[in-house]
Amino acid sequence: MKHLNRITVNPEQCGGRPCIRGMRIRVKDVLDMLADGATEAEILESFPDLEAEDIRACIAYAAAYFDHPVLVTA
């Protein structure tokens, strides 16, 4: 989880949504681009301040966010 230190949450920025390295680039924006089929190169071109590690950090953040137990009742 070494990538997660690149994700910041500031209540005064972007409504408290997770961003990348204190910039106003939200994790969701990068994940949406990936979901739409954008390549790493296309994302880096769209956001010149990003680094490849930032994209991996977004994926790691999403994976960690959804890694929780699910309780199912019978």
Closest CA to 18 of 3, 31, 28, 30: 28
Please say whether the beta carbons of 33 and 46 come within 8 A: yes
What are the domain boundaries of the chain? Answer: 2-65
Classify 22 as helix, strand or coil.
coil
Architecture of domain 2-65: Orthogonal Bundle (1.10)
Closest CA to 21 of 48, 46, 57: 57
What pTM did the predictor assign? 0.85
pLDDT in tens, 1-34: 577 899 999 999 999 999 999 999 999 999 999 9
Those residues whose C-beta lies under 8 Å from the C-beta of residue 53, and which sit 6 or more positions away, are 3, 6
- pLDDT value of position 71: 76
- pLDDT value of position 66: 86
